[in-house]
Every structure is written in structure tokens, then in C-alpha cells.
């Protein structure tokens, strides 16, 4: 069913523009290919292009980096390794007090797959990539750890000396009297959650163009960064310049962000450093493999949540134990994901006693950062799964347990136990409406019917408070009260807006909201048009930011759903301020009181006598042309900049209570899912989502935010996971491996609205962009748990995982089947065997296998072969598998030679794309008709970039390449001449080593 909101552009005049779904001003350019995204903009002539060489290892010491060959390549301007970057920058600040550094490039050690190791700068991208392949890095691998609980165990490999036991922070909190509540309660429930890693993956990747003016020691950077601009201070500090020498600009368009483009900032530092070293502008556009592997990710989290519960299902107290996995470095603004929800750990419920232990740990995975939902999905998954469990065990209806615990409608503004001030709402009414309009009764009947015929059908519920407009001080809750006193208070959320009138009286608006596709320009034109009695098309809005010229502050940017609530409201305040002055000017011209002035239909007129009027543009232009004729009490109307910060956003108090966000929307979701008994695929039958996001400024865009968030959340629930092998290899490096939902998977959610304005924002609006990312994953999980009748479900709910739950683990496949098969899940070793027939007697074939020249001509992609000793060889091989092609250096040794019958080959290969190790045994036997039968078996393991592209590609490619090898060998043998010489069986090995494997 489709329920898209239509645009309406009635021009009748007097009803406000705010609240209408007008067409977006952004769209004409975007629809005709004239968007201006970062890679669409030209660069200064002579701009260099960078590519980044990244670690294939999850954890290793960097023993040496040889850049000589790469530097000699024509077009290469510079190659920066850790020490070069260190020479011109300082470490990025770390969000907790610990003796730890955080660099945007590896210094002597890599700690995650994809960590930058060298920046190669050349005249164009292709030449930079050519050079990257020639950089030789020698690593000494260390043991890696990827699990947040595993990293805390005593023997775990240590990532940073400054984080003993891999623990970056450990805080205990207590609100009310949780001990007593637990002691007195009749029931105690507890749930263990492992929330996986995923990312909202915008379709446009990161981009940075940086230059450095050595004369003034000032940087100019263009990046599709999205804020928060508190990060500007981090970048400037890292580049060792004061803030006024870092001019940071954003392009007019950005291809989605969802928080993710906050994570471009370490690359801003890297590319700016490269610009400084080369003295030329440098541009870098990230590719998709880099983005998935190493840009940024939401945190994965291990949570144990316990509740003290009365017999009627009333929750009396909560006990949270959260272990937050921030990856290999604690990068700003982390550990913000953990603390963003601190005021909201009781969700939509009236729970007065809360105990919390928050631990932040590091593991050998990509560092984390902003991601739509930011901390919400992790919290609500635990809380709402627990609510369902309480209901099931107590024999209650989950919806009744939700209702029993809701905050009373008369209690707003309501202060939660942990400090949030919930601004407004009527949760009971919202649920009543949703149940009725969403036809819950029908779903219940459907469930009974499907279950009666033996099908799997379940219903899930979620109630969620959606925080928006972050308090810039919430992150300081990670510090103790004493540490906070020392550091000085942090709080508030400065929003800025500028309204300007030009000499012909037309209106320009500028805000520092850095939209990434949300249509801010359209909404602002509506808001300001209403104030001035104009039409949206009369207002030109600019949302690009230039920190050298524009009004901005640390809270600027596009995150925490702050636009509608904070930025649009600030624009209204700025416009009203200008309008107030214009009214005084008009009043003096029209000879009326200022209170009698109205702005409507392009005129400023007297309310009492509408004929007594003057064109808006005339009044608006007066400050330019005739400042002398302004009345004494009216100052200029040329430009007004307003800074607005809500007084409710105070710093954490002495007892660690924090109002982490300004606004709190309410969401109530329920859904029915059917699971196919054979394929265990989960199909959403109906998804109902009720939103109260305060006053709605543009219904079409609000629904757009809800739908978009829902689709991403559906992906997180059913398909998406940034998967790592136990050794830290990253396994989902392409869109063929990291599966996003498409048109065939995403149903239309039924969206229901209710509007309870926020008393704290100028327009009554609250944020709406992130809610479904918080509510939907757990709502679907609750429905799946209901359908399967299981107590524990882990995301993503892929069929294989559901199969394990309902059918237990699959038996291993029968032996002797596939030529190459994974041994077990999570084990990336690849074992296999095969056979080939070659003309010529074993002696002849043996000699060929030992001859470097023969082998060089039959090994696919072999460039050269060097014999170190008779049984030790080195080879260069270039191979392409699917989208990834690269050069490998193989080092091979031979053992157990039994000429002409058998040999064992062992070796390793490394390249920019990954590394591999393998061992194989090859036997030769006469086939009875003058030819030779070759039998081979191998055991290989790979890691690095090749591991993160599709395993299926590797399997297929492996077989093809082996086939090519033996075909070429047979052809050569058929040609007859075989000369004796050294051994070069490493041919087979090289392939085994450099390619085999990958499938987990």
C-alpha cells in the first residue's frame, strides 16, 4: 500500500506555509544532474590526488615501510607515512582522561584492518594507486581481539598501554535507591544482549580537498563533513593552528550522511597534512571498499539489563551493565554513543530507581562515531526485549506491560531518574490511536489464523522516546563530578541563523545546519516566508558553511535531529527580529502604531486600514538607500544573526543527572511478521509506526524521514552487519557482502501522526529523523521472537541465524564434495584438493614445474620469478578477482622433495590487497597412457582486503585460475620441450597463497 504525501502549492495567500508539503527548492537541480556534490566541483589547476594504503592486518607491528620504488613512479609527488604526518600534526584529542594518543594514520602499529599506513599523493588518482601497489610494508602480526567482552578477559591482547585491560572508561551511577528496589521486588528479570555493528552507509562516500598557505600557515579545507563543528576544534588542534587558520567549508550538496560523515574528520587532518607537505592542493575521494572497511561505524555493545518487577508487570528499577565497543581508537566525539541516551535509559517509562555501569572498551575494529539513532538502537533493543520477556514470563500481554509503565500524560515536563527533562507528550493517547488506526485487532486475528495452519507469525511492540537536539555537555557525564569541575562546565546547543535583506529588498537566509539531503532550504523558506508575509520562492536560503565567514558554533551541523527543533526555530527568531524593526519603519512611514502593522501578500500594511500599505521590498531596502530616514528607535535591517540556545540544557549536576537532549518525541510501533518455515525468511506483513514529533513543519519531509529511517532500521534488523572474523579480518567490504535492503525488501510502513508541540522550541517542533532507527530493530525482533517462541534473538535476523535457532546448527556437508569449502563458520582457512591431467611423463612434468621460465609463462598474471636458492623462490603476480585486482609478492619454499613423485610447497604472499599463507602437496603419477596425473591438496588462509570482498567471488576465481594454470601447463607440455632446472612449483603455491580462501 502506498501512502506517499503529495505536494500542494496553493497560492491563495493567507494560510501559513509552515505545515504544508510544498515542493522542494532543492529538487530541480538534483533531478536534472546539476547537483553540486564535492566530486562535482572543479579544483584548482595543479591539484594533486591522494590514495591511501591501508593495513591488511587487524593488529600488527609495522616493521618497515619501503616507499622508494613507489616514489620513482612518474607523477608521484609525495608519500606520507606515520612519521611524516607526525612531523606536521599532533594527536587527535581523546574523549577520556588517559595517556593515549589517537592518530589518523598508523605510527608503528596497526590496530584494525583498513587503518591508513601511507598516503600516496600523485598527479592523478590512477597514478597514486599504481604507486600504492609498489609500497612495501613489512608487518609482524599480533594477536587480535574483536569481541567487547573478550577484550576485557585477562589474557586478551592489549591495544594501547594507556588503556589497561583494554578498558578506556568505567563509570558507576546510581539514581534513587535501586538496591532496595531490587531487594524488595517480587521478581527480577535479566537479559543479555549483543548488539551488532552496522552503518547507515550513505551512497556518496567521503571527500576532502585541502590546501595550505605556508605564508600565513593557514589551511583551507572543503569536505562533505556534517558536523558537529566541535570537531573543528579537534582538527585545528591536530593541524597545530588556531581555529581562525582552519577555514572549513562544505559543498552545496551532500549525498546523505546519517551521522556517518562526521567520521571524515581524521581524513581532513591527513589530507591537510599532505597539502602542507606537498605545498599543493590535495584531493581525496574515498572509494566504497574503503568506506565499508574503515570509515566509521555505529558501536556494537554487550549489555546486561536487569529489572526489578512487581507482579502486575510494573518495573520498579533497572540495572544496566553496558560494555561499549568503540573499535581500535577512542575517536572524538566517542564515547558519545554511550552517553547520548544517558538521560533516557528509562525509555518511555516511569522508573525511579536506576543503576548503571558503563564501560568503554577498545578492540581491533574500525573506530566508531556518529550513526543515525546514535546509541538509541543499542539501548532500546535491550529495554524493549526485556519488556517483552517480562510479559511472557508473567503471563501478561506485552502491550499491557508497556502501558502499565508509561509516564503519565499529566506529568510533563517530566524529569527522568537519570536527568532528562521530557518536554511534552501523551503516550497513552498515542498508543490508543495507533492501536485503532493501525488495526491491531486484525493483526492478532491474522496471527491466530496463520498459527492455526501451522505457520510462523508473530507480533512485536515497541514504545520509544526519541531524543533530539543534543546537549553539548552530555558527553562530560563520562567524567566524574570532580573531573568536570576541573575541566569547566559544558552545556547548551547554540543554533545560529542569519536573515539578510539586500538593496532591492529580497530576503536571504543562512544557517549552519549542513543538510545532507533533508530539504532544509525548503523548510526555512517556508518559516521565513510566514514571518514576512512573502512566498517561499521569494526567500533564498544558503546552507553551505564557511567557518571563516559564517556564524557558527560547536553545536552547528546536521546531527541529533536538531534542524526542525533548533535551527528552523532560530531562523524564525531572526526573521521576527528583522520584522519587528521593519514594522517600526513601516509604522513611521504609514503613520500608524507599530502594533498595527501586519506582513501579508508582499506588503507591510495597517491592520485597521489594509489600503494603507507599502511594498515589503521598499521597506526592506530602506536601510541600504536611506539609513537617515529610519526612525530613531529602528536600527538597521540589513542583516540579523541570532544565536539561540535552550536554557533547559544544563551541564550534568553533582549527582550525574544530565538532560542529555532538549526535545523528546514519542514513537509507538507494532508489526506483524510471517516467517517462511522452509527458507526462514522474515516478511513484514504490516508495520505501524505512530510518531509524535511535536509541530510538523513539512508533512512530506517528516514522512520522508520516517520512511528512510525505517528502511535503514529494517536493514539493521534483517540483513546488515559489519562482520569480522575472529582474527579481525573484515568480511563485508562490498555492497554484495554488506547487504542493504532494496525495493523488493522494504514495505511501506503505515505512518500515524499526533502533534504535541514542544514548549521548549520556537516552532513547537521536535526532531524526527532517528526514531525508527531506535524503535524498528527491536520491534521486528520482538515479532520474530513471538513468531518462533524463542527467548533470545540476535540481530541481524538472517535466515541462517533463525535456522540455527529453530533447527540447531547445520550438519557439515558430506565429504569429497566441493573442491574448496570452508571448514566452519568463522574459520577463514580454505582447504581443498583437485586433479589435472597433463601430457608427458611425470619426469617431464616435474622438470617443467621446477623451471622458472616455464612457470612464469603458465602462471596467470605472473610478472617475474626470482630463484633465491634451489628450493626458495620469490614471485610477483598480478591478479584480479571481481572488483579487486592487485599485485602480490609471494615467497615460497619447497620441502619433502620426492622427484618426480611429490613435493610440499609452503609460503606466504602479501600485497596492498591482503595477505595469505598456504601449504600444499602435489603428487605426480603416470596416467597409464604416457601422460601424468597431478593431484594437489592445499590448506590456505587469507586476510586483508581480499578477505572483505565476496567469498563466493574468491571461490569461483580460485577454481578458474587453477584451471587456467593446468590448461596452460598441459598446452606447454603438449608442445614438447621441457628443460630441466630449478624448482618453481611455487606457481601453484602463489595462486594458492594469494587467492585461495576468503570464504568464511
Partner 1 sequence: MTRLKADARHSVRLTLNGKPVQSEAEPRMLLSDFLRHQIGATGTHVGCEHGVCGACTIVVDGMLTRSCLTLAAQVDGCEIQTVEGLAPSADRLGVLQQAFRRNHALQCGFCTAGILMSLDHYLARNPAPTEAEIRDLLSGHLCRCTGYTPIIQAALEAAAQLASSKKETSDA
Within residues 187-216, the interface with ligand FES by CB under 6 A covers: 203
Residue span 870-909 as binding mask against partner 1, x where in contact by CB under 8 A, dash where not: ------------xx--------------------------
Rounded CA-CA distance 26/473 in Å is: 34
Q: Give rounded-to-5 percent helix, strand, coil for the chain.
A: 30, 30, 40
From residue 145 to residue 184, the character string flagging contacts with ligand FES as x (rule: CB under 6 A) and all else as - is ----------------------------------------
Q: Is 769 among the residues that bind ligand FES (CB under 6 A)?
A: no
Nearest Cα residue to 248 out of 287, 286, 278, 211: 211
- Between residues 287 and 550, which has the closer beta carbon with respect to ligand FES? 287
When asked if residue 29 is in the footprint of ligand FES (CB under 6 A), the reply is no
Q: Helix axis angle, 986-995 relative to 951-974, nearest 10°?
A: 170
| Smallest distance from ligand FES to CB 256, Å | 4
- Among the residue ranges 29-37, 51-59, 143-151, 665-673, the one whose residues contact partner 1 (CB under 8 A): 29-37
- Give the list of residues 6+ apart from residue 229 with CB closer than 8 angstroms, or none: 248, 512, 545, 547, 552, 553, 554, 555, 556, 557
DSSP reduced 3-state for 498: strand
**Residue 106 phi, psi (nearest 5):** -65, 140
Least CB distance to ligand FES at residue 415 (A):
38
The three cell numbers of residue 197 are 555493528
By the rule CB under 8 A, 518 interacts with partner 1: yes
Mark residues 469-488: x for contact with partner 1 by CB under 8 A, - for none. Answer: --------------------
Least Å from the CB of residue 517 to ligand FES: 5
Contact flag: residue 10 with partner 1 (CB under 8 A): no
The total of other beta-carbon atoms located within 10 Å of residue 904's CB is: 16
Q: Are 524 and 498 in contact (CB under 8 A)?
A: no
Taking CB under 8 A as the rule, does residue 607 contact partner 1?
no
Measured in degrees and rounded to the nearest 5, phi and psi for residue 425 equal 155, 165
Q: Is 997 in the site for ligand FES (CB under 6 A)?
A: no
Q: Are 666 and 465 in contact (CB under 8 A)?
A: yes
Partner whose binding site includes residue 377, from partner 1, ligand FES, none (CB under 5 to 8 Å by kind): none
Q: Are 610 and 602 in contact (CB under 8 A)?
A: no
Residue nearest ligand FES, CB atom distance: 203
322 bridge partner residues: 303, 358
The three cell numbers of residue 373 are 539513532
Give the angle subtended at the CA of 727 by the CAs of 725 and 733, to the nearest 5°. 45
DSSP bridge pairs for 937: 833, 921
For the segment 502-521, give every residue that binds ligand FES (CB under 6 A).
517
541 binds, among partner 1, ligand FES, none (CB under 5 to 8 A by kind): none
Fill in the per-residue mask, 267 to 296: x = in contact with partner 1 (CB under 8 A), - = not in contact.
--------------------xxx-------
Contact yes or no for 942/998 (Cβ under 8 A): yes
Choices 179-187, 412-420, 511-519, 544-552 (CB under 8 A): range interacting with partner 1: 511-519
Task: Go through the chain and tell me how many residues it has.
Answer: 1000
Residue 538 binding target from ligand FES, partner 1, none, CB below 5 to 8 Å by type: none
Q: Assess 204 for contact with partner 1 (CB under 8 A).
A: yes
Q: Are 726 and 1000 in contact (CB under 8 A)?
A: no
Task: Report residue 78: phi and psi, to 5°.
Answer: -165, 155
By the rule CB under 8 A, 4 interacts with partner 1: yes
Q: Which of 87, 126, 183, 809 binds partner 1 (CB under 8 A)?
A: 126
Nearer to partner 1, 35 or 899 (CB): 35
* 423, 465 Cβ separation under 8 angstroms: no
* Closest CB to ligand FES among residues 519, 916: 519
Asked if 801 and 975 touch (Cβ cutoff 8 Å), the reply is no
Q: Dig out the grid coordinates for 132 from the structure.
A: 600504492
From the list partner 1, ligand FES, none, which binds 748 (C-beta under 5 to 8 Å, kind-based)? partner 1
- Residue 35 interacting with partner 1 (CB under 8 A): yes
Q: Is residue 28 part of the contact set for partner 1 (CB under 8 A)? A: yes
Mode of pairing for the β-strands spanning 862-869 and 872-881:
antiparallel
Closest by Cα among 955, 961, 937, 963 to 836: 963
What is the number of helices (H) and of strands (E) in the chain?
A: 25, 36
Pick out residues in 752-771 that bind partner 1 (CB under 8 A). Answer: none
Q: Which stretch binds partner 1 (CB under 8 A): 4-12, 482-490, 497-505, 628-636?
A: 4-12
Q: Which does 39 bind (CB under 5 to 8 A by kind): partner 1, ligand FES, none?
A: partner 1
| 882 is an interface residue for ligand FES by CB under 6 A | no
Residue 34, interface with partner 1 (CB under 8 A)? Answer: yes
For residue 201, the partner it binds in partner 1, ligand FES, none, with Cβ less than 5 to 8 A by kind, is partner 1
Residue 312 CB contacts under 8 Å (≥ 6 apart), including other chains: 396, 404
The entry of partner 1, ligand FES, none near residue 4 (CB within 5 to 8 angstroms by kind) is: partner 1
Total number of residues that touch ligand FES (CB under 6 A): 3
> Which residue, 517 or 920, has its beta carbon nearer to ligand FES?
517
Task: State how far the Cα of 162 lies from the Cα of 166, in Å rounded to an integer.
Answer: 9
Question: Between 458 and 709, whose beta carbon lies closer to partner 1?
Answer: 709
Say whether residue 26 binds partner 1 (CB under 8 A).
Answer: yes
CA distance 60 to 150: 19
883 lies in the binding site for ligand FES (CB under 6 A): no
Q: Which does 350 bind (CB under 5 to 8 A by kind): partner 1, ligand FES, none?
A: none
How many residues bind partner 1 (CB under 8 A)? The answer is 62
Q: Which is nearer to partner 1, 288 or 314 (CB)?
A: 288
CA 992 to chain centre: 35
The three cell numbers locating residue 23: 515542493
Q: Which CA distances in Å does 707 have to 242, 354, 735?
A: 42, 33, 21
- Residues 677-716, one symbol each (x = binds partner 1 by CB under 8 A, - = not), give -----------------------xx-xx--xxxxxx----
Q: Are strands 872-881 and 884-898 parallel, antiparallel or unpaired?
A: antiparallel
Closer to ligand FES at the Cβ: 348 or 746? 746
Task: Assess contact for 890 and 993: CB atoms under 8 A.
Answer: yes
Place of cell 573499535: 327
The H or E element spanning position 248 is strand 246-249
Q: Which residue number, 145 or 289, has a Cβ lying nearer to ligand FES?
A: 289
- 243-272 residues in contact with ligand FES (CB under 6 A) are 256
Q: What mask of x and - would describe binding to ligand FES in positions 465 to 504, judged by CB under 6 A?
A: ----------------------------------------
Choose among ligand FES, partner 1, none what residue 908 binds, the Cβ cut-off being 5 to 8 Å by kind. none
Burial 426-460 (b: 16+ CB within 10 A, else e): bbeebbebbbeebebeebeebbeebeeeeebbbbb
* Nearest CB to ligand FES, comparing residues 35 and 243: 35
Q: Which residues contact 626 (CB under 8 A, 6 or more apart)?
A: none
CA distance 123 to 125: 7
Query: Is 743 a binder of partner 1 (CB under 8 A)?
Result: yes
Q: Cell 546537549 identifies what position? A: 471
* One character per residue 38-57, x = contact with partner 1 (rule: CB under 8 A): -xx-----------------
Q: Which residues bind ligand FES (CB under 6 A)?
A: 203, 256, 517
Q: Which residues are near partner 1 by CB under 8 A?
A: 2-7, 21, 23-24, 26-28, 30-35, 37, 39-40, 126, 200-205, 253-256, 258, 287-289, 516-519, 700-701, 703-704, 707-712, 734-736, 740, 742-744, 746, 748-749, 882-883
Amino acid at each position: 500500500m502506498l501512502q506517499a504525501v503529495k505536494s500542494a502549492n496553493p497560492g491563495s495567500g493567507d494560510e501559513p506555509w509552515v505545515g504544508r508539503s510544498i515542493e522542494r527548492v532543492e529538487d530541480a537541480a538534483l533531478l536534472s544532474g546539476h547537483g553540486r556534490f564535492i566530486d562535482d566541483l572543479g579544483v584548482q589547476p595543479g591539484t594533486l590526488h591522494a590514495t591511501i594504503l591501508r593495513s591488511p592486518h587487524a593488529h600488527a607491528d609495522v616493521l618497515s615501510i619501503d616507499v622508494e620504488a613507489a616514489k620513482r613512479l612518474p607523477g608521484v609527488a609525495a608519500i606520507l607515512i606515520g612519521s611524516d604526518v607526525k612531523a606536521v600534526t599532533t594527536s587527535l584529542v581523546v574523549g577520556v582522561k588517559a595517556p593515549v594518543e589517537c592518530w589518523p594514520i598508523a605510527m608503528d602499529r596497526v590496530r584494525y584492518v583498513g587503518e591508513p599506513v601511507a598516503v600516496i599523493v600523485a598527479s592523478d588518482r590512477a597514478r597514486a594507486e599504481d604507486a600504492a601497489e609498489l609500497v612495501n610494508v613489512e608487518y609482524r602480526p599480533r594477536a587480535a581481539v574483536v569481541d567487547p567482552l573478550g577484550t576485557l578477559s585477562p589474557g586478551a591482547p592489549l591495544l594501547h598501554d594507556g588503556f589497561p585491560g583494554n578498558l578506556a572508561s568505567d563509570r558507576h551511577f546510581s539514581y534513587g535507591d535501586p538496591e532496595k528496589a531490587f531487594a524488595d521486588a517480587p521478581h527480577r528479570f535479566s537479559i543479555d544482549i549483543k548488539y551488532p555493528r552496522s552503518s547507515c552507509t550513505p551512497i556518496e562516500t567521503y571527500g576532502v580537498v585541502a590546501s595550505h598557505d605556508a605564508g600565513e600557515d593557514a589551511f583551507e579545507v572543503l569536505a562533505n563533513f556534517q558536523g558537529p563543528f566541535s570537531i573543528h576544534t579537534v582538527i585545528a588542534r591536530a593541524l597545530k593552528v588556531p581555529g581562525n587558520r582552519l577555514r572549513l567549508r562544505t559543498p552545496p550538496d551532500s549525498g546523505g550522511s546519517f551521522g556517518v560523515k562526521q567520521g571524515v574528520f581524521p581524513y581532513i587532518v591527513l589530507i591537510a597534512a599532505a597539502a602542507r607537505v606537498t605545498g599543493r592542493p590535495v584531493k581525496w575521494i574515498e572509494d566504497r571498499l574503503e568506506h565499508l572497511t574503515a570509515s566509521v561505524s555505529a558501536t556494537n555493545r554487550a549489555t546486561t539489563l536487569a529489572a526489578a518487577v512487581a507482579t502486575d508487570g510494573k518495573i520498579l528499577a533497572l540495572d544496566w551493565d553496558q560494555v561499549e565497543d568503540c573499535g581500535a581508537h577512542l575517536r572524538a566525539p566517542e564515547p558519545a554513543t554511550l552517553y547520548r541516551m544517558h538521560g533516557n535509559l528509562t525509555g518511555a517509562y516511569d522508573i525511579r530507581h536506576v543503576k548503571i555501569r558503563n564501560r568503554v572498551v577498545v578492540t581491533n575494529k574500525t573506530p566508531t562515531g556518529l550513526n543515525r539513532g546514535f546509541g538509541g538502537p543499542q539501548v532500546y533493543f535491550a529495554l524493549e526485549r526485556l519488556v517483552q520477556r517480562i510479559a511472557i514470563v508473567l503471563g501478561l500481554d506485552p502491550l499491557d506491560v508497556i502501558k502499565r509503565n508509561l509516564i503519565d500524560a499529566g506529568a510533563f515536563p517530566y524529569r527522568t531518574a537519570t536527568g532528562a527533562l521530557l518536554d511534552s507528550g501523551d503516550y497513552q493517547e498515542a498508543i490508543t490511536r495507533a492501536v485503532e488506526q493501525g488495526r491491531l485487532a486484525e493483526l492478532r486475528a491474522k496471527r491466530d489464523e496463520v498459527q492455526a495452519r501451522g505457520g510462523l507469525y508473530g507480533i512485536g511492540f515497541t514504545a520509544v522516546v526519541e531524543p533530539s537536539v543534543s546537549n553539548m555537555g552530555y558527553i562530560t557525564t563520562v567524567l566524574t563530578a570532580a573531573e568536570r569541575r576541573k575541566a569547566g562546565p559544558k552545556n547548551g546547543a547554540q543554533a545560529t541563523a542569519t536573515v539578510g535583506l539586500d538593496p532591492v529588498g529580497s530576503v536571504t537566509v543562512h544557517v549552519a545546519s549542513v543538510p545532507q539531503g533533508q530539504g532544509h532550504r525548503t523548510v526555512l523558506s517556508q518559516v521565513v516566508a510566514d514571518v514576512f508575509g512573502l512566498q517561499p520562492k521569494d526567500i533564498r536560503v544558503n546552507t553551505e558553511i564557511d567557518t571563516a565567514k559564517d556564524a557558527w558554533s560547536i553545536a552547528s551541523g546536521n546531527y541529533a535531529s536538531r534542524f526542525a527543533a533548533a535551527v528552523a526555530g532560530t531562523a524564525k527568531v531572526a526573521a521576527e527580529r528583522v520584522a519587528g524593526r521593519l514594522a517600526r519603519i513601516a509604522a513611521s512611514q504609514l503613520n500608524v502604531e507599530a502594533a498595527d502593522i501586519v506582513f501579508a501578500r508582499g506588503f507591510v500594511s495597517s491592520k485597521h486600514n489594509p489600503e494603507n500599505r507599502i511594498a515589503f521590498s521598499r521597506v526592506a531596502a530602506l536601510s541600504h538607500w536611506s539609513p537617515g530616514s529610519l526612525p530613531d528607535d529602528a536600527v538597521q535591517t540589513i542583516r540579523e544573526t541570532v544565536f539561540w540556545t535552550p536554557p533547559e540544557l544544563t551541564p550534568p549536576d553533582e549527582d550525574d543527572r544530565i538532560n542529555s537532549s532538549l526535545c523528546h518525541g514519542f514513537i509507538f510501533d507494532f508489526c506483524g511478521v510471517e516467517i517462511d518455515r522452509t527458507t526462514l525468511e522474515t516478511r513484514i506483513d504490516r508495520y505501524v509506526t505512530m510518531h509524535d514529533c511535536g509541530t510538523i513543519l513539512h508533512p512530506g519531509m517528516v514522512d520522508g524521514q520516517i520512511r528512510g529511517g525505517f528502511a535503514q532500521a529494517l536493514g539493521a534488523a534483517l540483513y546488515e552487519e559489519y562482520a569480522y572474523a575472529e582474527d579481525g579480518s573484515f568480511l563485508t567490504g562490498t555492497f554484495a557482502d554488506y547487504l542493504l535492503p532494496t525495493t523488493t525488501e522494504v514495505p511501506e510502513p503505515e505512518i500515524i501522526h499526533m502533534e504535541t508541540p514542544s514548549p521548549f522550541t520556537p516552532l513547537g517542533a521536535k526532531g524526527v529523523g532517528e526514531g525508527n532507527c531506535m524503535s524498528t530493530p527491536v520491534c521486528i525482533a520482538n515479532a520474530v521472537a513471538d513468531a518462533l517462541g524463542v527467548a533470545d534473538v540476535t540481530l541481524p535476523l538472517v535466515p541462517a541465524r533463525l535456522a540455527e535457532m529453530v533447527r540447531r546448527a547445520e550438519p557439515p556437508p558430506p565429504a569429497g564434495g566441493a573442491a574448496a569449502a570452508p571448514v566452519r563458520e568463522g574459520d577463514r582457512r580454505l582447504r581443498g584438493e583437485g586433479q589435472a591431467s597433463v601430457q608427458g611423463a611425470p619426469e617431464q612434468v616435474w622438470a617443467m614445474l621446477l623451471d622458472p621460465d616455464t612457470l612464469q609463462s603458465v602462471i596467470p598474471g605472473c610478472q617475474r620469478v626470482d630463484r633465491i636458492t634451489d628450493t626458495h623462490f620469490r614471485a610477483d603476480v598480478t591478479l584480479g578477482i571481481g572488483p579487486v585486482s592487485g599485485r602480490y609478492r609471494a615467497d615460497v619454499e619447497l620441502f619433502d622433495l620426492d622427484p618426480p613423485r611429490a613435493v610440499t610447497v609452503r609460503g606466504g604472499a602479501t600485497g596492498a590487497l591482503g595477505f595469505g599463507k598456504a601449504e600444499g602437496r602435489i603428487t605426480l603419477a603416470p596416467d597409464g597412457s604416457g601422460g601424468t596425473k597431478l593431484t594437489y591438496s592445499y590448506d590456505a588462509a587469507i586476510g586483508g582486503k581480499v578477505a572483505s570482498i565476496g567469498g563466493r567471488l574468491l571461490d569461483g576465481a580460485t577454481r578458474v585460475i587453477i584451471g587456467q594454470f593446468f590448461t596452460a601447463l598441459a598446452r606447454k607440455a603438449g608442445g614438447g620441450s621441457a628443460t630441466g632446472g630449478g624448482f618453481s612449483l611455487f606457481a601453484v603455491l602463489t595462486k594458492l597463497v594469494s587467492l585461495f580462501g576468503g570464504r568464511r
